[in-house]
Structure 1
């Protein structure tokens, strides 16, 4: 059984949705990032960047256990392990890969910054808010133009590119966006949101998402401030 180390964040839900979609058996190992669980030595052995999600598969490619960190790598690993939600031909694979990289390099970082400066920053910086809200709108527009021509991001087939992007779009309001402004994204979002495996994949740790990860000032420091650095250095003897 695969062990999934996660918390209720968009990146965490990428992995739980993918596991539900593939039908692989798994168990959730909660990593409370608001309390610093991501800095525990045993978790750093699995995820050296002290980020969720991460998985441990006892039945790796050579029959030996394997651990995988970084949400995009996890999606690729599970897709190749099961032969699902990728593509068999080279053209199709690179269509999936480019939209997966679009999420990893654009949607996640930029929408995450919009979320941060609009909701988590201790001080309101109009320039930062405007910068990332506008960039979020641009990225939603890129998706909207693509989805005008295609049922899903990479093709007319649902893929790991959609699984990677959907949990971020769930938080569109926190990015300062309205799905009504992007009708093709809206159609795509509704179709994925209705998938039974997605519904199940959003259940693990859903209460943590509703409660939020910033329970106190200490949580804020662990996630965004200097608190993350000495802990990591100490784990490695720095």
Structure 2
């Protein structure tokens, strides 16, 4: 009997939800270890991931193997828990192309979307040049996807794979990331929008997002990940610092 895989996460970020959706698609049992933002760079989590970034998993079916970095986790889960190749490559070329897109997601989409989100939402000073640069990079990445999805429903082959899922959580944050008008996130990228809607219409995605909403409510967080009532990340970090200093006295 497969024991539940522990998924350590902080619920606001996109990256943990790649892992959760894939576990849902593969019907692999799991349990979420939800931690607060202020505890990501503290023990016990840094005993699992010294880089202090979520997600990380602990697999009790493999002598409590710990894996961090979402791309590495995805690869591991598909190697160990997808024997029927439901989401994985079924040929040499498919496997190569899946890895190609996974690396592009991890090195292209994630960092550029994240930087756009930072400068548009959280940087203490408004830096128009940085905002413009990273918004352009977001659109450049979307343009790559738009062209490669022309005449196709999925990135690799004729079926959903793990790379389609890997792109979905960041694409789902487009409006927040770029601070565009509501409904304009995919403007100019109809192939990407249709592809994203195919992924997010799946039961695994919907169930995962219901879990996310519940965890966000439990931590009293807003859609952008800040505690309700907080006006900025800096205000929150100041409060965390003051609490830590008071606790150490």
TM interval, short-chain normalised:
0.7 to 0.9
Conservation of the 8 A alpha-carbon contact between 1:47 and 1:54: yes
Q: 1:129 aligns with which of 128, 131, 135?
A: 131
TM superposition score normalised by structure 1? 0.86
Conservation of the 8 A alpha-carbon contact between 2:98 and 2:156: yes
The 1-side partners of 2:235 and 2:59 are apart by 32
Distance change in 2, residues 1:218/1:125 (3 Å):
closer
What are the residue-to-residue correspondences of 1:216-235 with 2, within 5 Å? 216=230, 220=234
Aligned residue-pair number: 222
1:145-187 CA distance string (max 9 Å, x none): 1111321122322111111100000011123362131000011
Q: 2:165 aligns with which of 132, 144, 163?
A: 163
1:124 Cα deviation after fit? 0.4
Tell me which residue corresponds to 1:233: none
The reply to whether residue 197 of structure 1 matches residue 204 of structure 2 is yes
The 2-side partners of 1:59 and 1:175 are apart by 37
Q: Secondary structure at the match of 2:57?
A: strand
1:119-145 CA distance string (max 9 Å, x none): 111110000000000111111011111
Q: 1:28 aligns with which of 21, 25, 32?
A: 32
The 1-side partners of 2:6 and 2:72 are apart by 15
Structure 2: segments with no counterpart, 5+ residues: 179-183, 242-249
Higher relative contact order (CA 8 A, sep 6+): 1
The reply to whether residue 18 of structure 1 matches residue 22 of structure 2 is yes
TM superposition score normalised by structure 2? 0.82
The 2-side partners of 1:52 and 1:126 are apart by 29
Tell me which residue corresponds to 1:108: 110
Tell me which residue corresponds to 2:174: 172
Distance change in 2, residues 1:22/1:220 (3 Å):
farther
Tell me which residue corresponds to 1:76: 75
Tell me which residue corresponds to 2:195: 188
Conservation of the 8 A alpha-carbon contact between 2:59 and 2:66: yes
CA RMSD of superposed structures (Å) = 2.4
Structure 1: segments with no counterpart, 5+ residues: 228-238
1:218 Cα deviation after fit? 9.1
Conservation of the 8 A alpha-carbon contact between 1:106 and 1:139: yes
1:185-232 CA distance string (max 9 Å, x none): 011011111000111122223252644333358954887xxx7xxxxx
The 1-side partners of 2:60 and 2:20 are apart by 17
The 1-side partners of 2:27 and 2:7 are apart by 14
The 2-side partners of 1:149 and 1:200 are apart by 29
Q: Secondary structure at the match of 1:86?
A: coil
The 1-side partners of 2:235 and 2:73 are apart by 28
Conservation of the 8 A alpha-carbon contact between 2:7 and 2:56: yes
The 2-side partners of 1:71 and 1:133 are apart by 23
1:43 Cα deviation after fit? 1.0
What are the residue-to-residue correspondences of 1:136-147 with 2, within 5 Å? 136-147=138-149
The reply to whether residue 212 of structure 1 matches residue 224 of structure 2 is yes
